[in-house]
Amino acid sequence: MTCRVYSNSNDWDINDSAIPRIDEYDVFSEWADGHCRLVYRADSEEAKRHSSGWAMRNTNNHNVHILKKSCLGVLVCSLRCSLSNGESVHLRPAICDKARKKQQDSVTLGKPCPNRQCRGRLEIQACRGHCGYPVTHFWRHTEHAIFFQAKGVHDHPKPEAKSTSEAKRTLGSGRRVRGLAVLLAKEAALGNKLMSLHEPKRQCREITNQVSRSINQSLVSSELEKGYCSCPPFECICRFQQSMLTPINQFPSSLSTYQQPHVAEPYWTPEPTIQQSYQNPPGPEPSILNPQYDFNSLASDIFQPEEMFQLDQPVKPDFVAMNQTEIARSPPTLLDLGSGTIHKEFKNEEYWHPALHNMLNDDSNNSSNSRFNLNQSPDSSHLLGITNEAPVDQHLYLETKSTDPLFTLQKNHYYPQCTIDNYPLHFDMVDSKPHFLDEKNGQKFESSHSKAYSKSNYQDEYIDLVQYNEYHNFLNVYDTSKTNNDNIIFNELDFRVNSCVPNISNVNSYSNDNFDVISYQ
DNA sequence: GGTTGCGGGTCTA
DNA sequence: TAGACCCGCAACC
């Protein structure tokens, strides 16, 4: 390998013979997606374990210095059935080939769908997010840091969290004890939800996508950014916590990839929340109406480990009808572990709720090669819920090389509900500056505020709309005359960005003369 | 019993 | 030749 010439101090690649010595580290991202590069502390336990929320299996790349892993995708129902709460089946594939084979029972037609009312079967939705190949993760250890690089954008839902799978394995001893176990689990969950009323600050972690750039949020939100839930497997109250946070976080958390509700849910996670929002009659979300807890959700939320293979009760009477909807999508596949081949099923199946699907496909501006990019992401539905009071979540983060043909990203985002000086926010990723659209004449202009967002001088983009909006609100409290001074605005905002997001300067702080010669461990 | 890391080996573009 | 993938092994939990 030839030595790479660093034309830019920000740049490094996992395959470089020498990479920058980094003294500022990223927060561990369990659900890293898209083409991203992260630097973790050398003593980061998660990084040392090379853990990931995605089901990543070790791949031999014949390079002992760089650990490579490829994504196994997700186990989904062949009929894409939905539960009563709108959630769908998305199990975590076993990493071990043998265990995965057993999990799928691929010798026959696949294990039956966990939904007893569904006649579908579990099948692997293979990851094809990297040029048709699985998304790959690379880990490399140096003396000072652990470097992580991901290639590709996952084109499938997130599998259940690893902790959930482990809990199933640990606790699941058979369906014969299901009744009692479910009873206990429900009781425990109820007890915890009640307890949560007395302990509103209980830590709970949110699964986030991409890089977590923590800002001055509550303790809860900081835990959420860790990427996993600290709640017991059967007693997760993240839904409760999340509902409390929802008004603040109703916004896509990433520009680059498919997003899912980041609530660590026992066994059936992702899209559900979004789907539910379409299935429910108009009105406030139940969890918001009853922010304390949702007893109704308990029955559908708590599953016994072995419940993943059969549910006791009908979960969605109309699921069959819903599944009749034929919508073009990537063909589902069955992974034959015996032969190692992947069989495509040439039929169109609807994984998403039709309403959601329509919403997703209504956007003709999609330019991404991912089925779950921002526009198509279920989280995009959160845009519908944006209010002026709580317009944005987000630590929008994008790190990629513009020259990477694999990475195509929606360049512009228009947030009509997010206004500044009565102008809707129009986020232009071309120069990573927020613009404000004058709807009358269609002109777009750059606010003086936006200067603070021109942080990167390379392709790396860091955008934090939360801070932007917060700061704007902050400014509104004060004498507006002060806001006419660009310098004040810039300095204060710059201060906020640098003080509240210590890691934000990470990638941009690489020193040209500060490289680690590869230290192989 | 499952995860993880490692490494030999095959296949294909 | 590079990359994806299969497979077996060992250590660990």
- Residues A215-258: tens digit of each pLDDT: 233 333 333 333 333 333 333 333 333 333 333 233 223 333 34
Strand partners, A418: none
Distance in Å from C12's C1' to A113's CA comes to 32
Q: Which of A397, A395, A370, A419 is nearest to A127 (CA)?
A: A370
What is each CA distance from A340 to A297, A358, A399, in whole angstroms? 39, 35, 34
Distance in Å from B10's C1' to A105's CA comes to 26
A196 vs A42, higher pLDDT: A42
CA closest to B1 C1', residue: A99
Whether pLDDT at A159 is above 80: yes
A141 vs A207, higher pLDDT: A141
Q: How far apart are CA A91 and CA A70, in angstroms?
A: 17
Distance in Å from B8's C1' to A154's CA comes to 30
Instruction: Quickly list H helices, A88-216.
Output: 97-104, 162-171, 178-198
pLDDT digits 0-9 by tens, A380-391:
333 333 333 333
Whether pLDDT at A311 is above 70: no
* Nucleotides of strand B within 7 Å of the protein's CB atoms: 1-9
**CA A405 to chain CA centroid, nearest Å:** 22
Angle formed at CA A494 by CA A492 and CA A496, multiple of 5 degrees: 70
> What mean pLDDT is predicted for residues A12-25?
78
Distance in Å from C9's C1' to A96's CA comes to 13
Q: How far apart are CA A247 and CA A385, in angstroms?
A: 9
Query: For the packed helices A354-362 and A272-279, what is the interaxial angle rounded to 10 degrees?
Result: 100
Q: What local confidence, expressed as pLDDT, does residue A451 receive?
A: 32
Give the DSSP letter of residue A4.
P
A126 pLDDT tier (thresholds 50, 70, 90): confident
Give strand letter and number of the nucleotide nearest A141 (CA to C1'): B5
User: How many residues comprise chain A?
Assistant: 521
Instruction: Order across the sheet with A423-428: list the strands.
Output: A412-420, A423-428, A433-438, A443-446
Amino acid, res. A396? L
Distance in Å from C2's C1' to A61's CA comes to 9
A486 vs A219, higher pLDDT: A486
Angle formed at CA A117 by CA A184 and CA A320, multiple of 5 degrees: 140
Query: For the packed helices A465-477 and A486-500, what is the interaxial angle rounded to 10 degrees?
Result: 130
A29 pLDDT tier (thresholds 50, 70, 90): confident
Distance in Å from B9's C1' to A59's CA comes to 14
Q: How high is the mean pLDDT of chain A?
A: 49
A105 pLDDT tier (thresholds 50, 70, 90): low
**A481 phi and psi angles, rounded to 5 deg:** -65, -30
CB-based contact A204:A231 (threshold 8 Å): yes
CA closest to B4 C1', residue: A58
Please report residues contacting nucleic strand C, using a CB cutoff of 7 A.
A 58-62, 68, 70, 97, 130, 133-134, 136, 337-338, 340
Q: What is the CA radius of gyration of chain A?
A: 23
Whether pLDDT at A302 is above 50: no
CA closest to C3 C1', residue: A61
Give strand letter and number of the nucleotide nearest A98 (CA to C1'): B2
Least trusted range by pLDDT, from A30-39, A110-119, A161-170, A351-360: A351-360
Distance in Å from B1's C1' to A83's CA comes to 30
For residue A292, give both structure tokens: 């304390």
Give the DSSP letter of residue A31.
B
Give strand letter and number of the nucleotide nearest A100 (CA to C1'): B2
Q: What local confidence, expressed as pLDDT, does residue A330 receive?
A: 37
> What mean pLDDT is predicted for residues A387-406?
33
Please report residues contacting nucleic strand B, using a CB cutoff of 7 A.
A 49-51, 58, 60, 62, 64, 67, 69, 94-96, 98-100, 102, 139, 162, 165, 169
Q: How far apart are CA A187 and CA A201, in angstroms?
A: 21
pLDDT digits 0-9 by tens, A313-340:
333 333 333 333 333 333 344 444 433 3
Q: How far apart are CA A465 and CA A227, in angstroms?
A: 20
Strand partners, A433: A428
For residue A481, give both structure tokens: 């005359």
Distance in Å from C8's C1' to A297's CA comes to 45
End-to-end CA distance of chain A: 19
* Nucleotides of strand C within 7 Å of the protein's CB atoms: 3-7
Distance in Å from C1's C1' to A210's CA comes to 33
**A146 phi and psi angles, rounded to 5 deg:** -115, 120
What is the torsional sign of CA A396, A401, A406, A409?
positive
* Percent of chain A at pLDDT exceeding 90: 0
Give the CA-trace dihedral at A214, A217, A223, A229, to 10 degrees.
Answer: -110
For residue A489, give both structure tokens: 């605005």
What is the torsional sign of CA A504, A507, A513, A517?
positive
Q: How far apart are CA A177 and CA A183, in angstroms?
A: 10
A169 pLDDT tier (thresholds 50, 70, 90): low
Distance in Å from C2's C1' to A382's CA comes to 42
Which residues have a Cβ under 8 Å from the Cβ of A291 and sit 6 or more positions away? A240, A243, A244
Give strand letter and number of the nucleotide nearest A151 (CA to C1'): C3
